[in-house]
Structures are given as structure tokens and as C-alpha cells.
Structure 1
């Protein structure tokens, strides 16, 4: 389980760096500088908890599985975001974005979390 936790943490970090770098293209910044936070490693590492759920969902349609993972990720993002906000340590602030909830969730990120959940499902179920 530790190996899978570490893998999920590293994968999450990499995805976040790629995503934030890609977002700089909107500002025509060709340096493509991505970023993340040390706080994100254990948060992404918690994706290991999706594996037991993925076993329950293994015969279900892709749309259902991805939707369930999206909800799980939103719940995790909300709880960890609120806890980190209380300590003034939350590395993300969506309060200016449309479709945000308490500045810690962006509903328009649902497609990203859908894909991320399915990616974690694949990674976790193919690791030994």
C-alpha cells in the first residue's frame, strides 16, 4: 500500500505540474512553468483509497466509474482544502473562479477529475 500511496502522490504532482504549465499558455507564457505544493503529495497519495472502490465498480460502465471517482475527488478536495484554509496553508484559491464552492472546489474541473480518477484506477489495478 505504501508503494501505491507514493505512486499516486508522484502521479498527482506530475499531473498538476503539467496542468498548471499548460494553463500558462492562455497568457502566452511560452516558459510553461508549472507548479505544485508539498501539501499536495499526501492529498494525491490518498488516491490509493480509490482501489477498494474500483474493485466494487469493476463491472460497471466507464461513465459511472468516472463519475463516482469525480465525486470522491471533489469530497477529498473540499475537506482537505477547508482544513488547510483553517491553517492558512491552502495552496489553491478558486474564490475568483466561476463555479467554485468555498474557494476550494471548481465544478468546471469535473472532466479533469473524471479522467484523473480513471487514470488512478488503471494505475492502481495494474500495480503489483
Structure 2
């Protein structure tokens, strides 16, 4: 069951990233909507399956509380995985140009996006969606 959730989270994460980077290409006036991701992102997004026990604990909480907790978890995962990959010259993202970045591996202004992503991952890993 956990393997299926890992794969589902990895694929969902990849799809979200493809849509986000594809739409982001409009800012560069690229009407081809070319998207970008990395193989590294699959296991990083897949790790959202480890939110399952947390989802059980939070299931009766308000969505704002759940979303904020998931945002913190995602920021932590992004910071740890980004720092590790950066140390080995393999980090596929670099936020050092962004105003609200931390060590170039997380962007605090992405909190609303991670809030929504956390609630989407919750739907995938929730015991009720099994």
C-alpha cells in the first residue's frame, strides 16, 4: 500500500511541477508552455506518502491547520533534499535569485502553493482514499 502511495505522490508531484513550470514559461513570453522537471523530483514528491500518519492525526482539524502543518513538512523536506542534492551538485532548482529564499533551496513565497499541494497529497495518502 505504501509503495502505491509513493508512486501516486511522485506522479502527482511531477504533474503539478509540469503544469507550474509550463505556465511559468508564459512570464518569459514562451507561448510553447515548455515545462521542466527532473528525475530527482519523483522520489522527493513520492516522500509525501510519509504524511499518512500525520493525516490520520490531523483528520478532524480545520483545513487551515492541516494545510499549515503540511506546508511546514514540505518546506522541511524541500530544504533537506535540496541541501543534500546541492552538496553533490545535483539540485535541479536554485532559488538564490528569489527575494524570500533560504540557502537557495526553499522559497517562503511558495508557501501558498505548498499549502495547496499538501492538501492534494492528503487526498492521495489519506486512509479514507485507500
Q: TM-score, normalised by structure 2?
A: 0.96
Instruction: Tell me whether 1:103 sits opposite 2:104 in the alignment.
Output: yes
Alpha-carbon distance between aligned partners in 1 of 2:116 and 2:95, rounded to the nearest angstrom:
20
Instruction: Tell me whether 1:60 sits opposite 2:25 in the alignment.
Output: no
Equivalent residue number for residue 91 of structure 1? 92
Equivalent residue number for residue 49 of structure 1? 50
Instruction: Tell me whether 1:34 sits opposite 2:35 in the alignment.
Output: yes
Moved over 4 A (4+): none
Structure 2 gap segments, 5+ residues each: none
The RMSD of aligned alpha carbons is 0.8
Alpha-carbon distance between aligned partners in 1 of 2:129 and 2:45, rounded to the nearest angstrom:
17
Q: Per-residue CA shift, 1:20-44, capped at 9, x if unaligned? A: 0010111221100111000011000
Q: Structure 2 matches for 1:105-120, cutoff 5 A?
A: 105-120=106-121
Q: How many residues align?
A: 128
Q: Per-residue CA shift, 1:29-68, capped at 9, x if unaligned? A: 1100111000011000000011110100001111000000
Alpha-carbon distance between aligned partners in 2 of 1:72 and 1:119, rounded to the nearest angstrom:
14
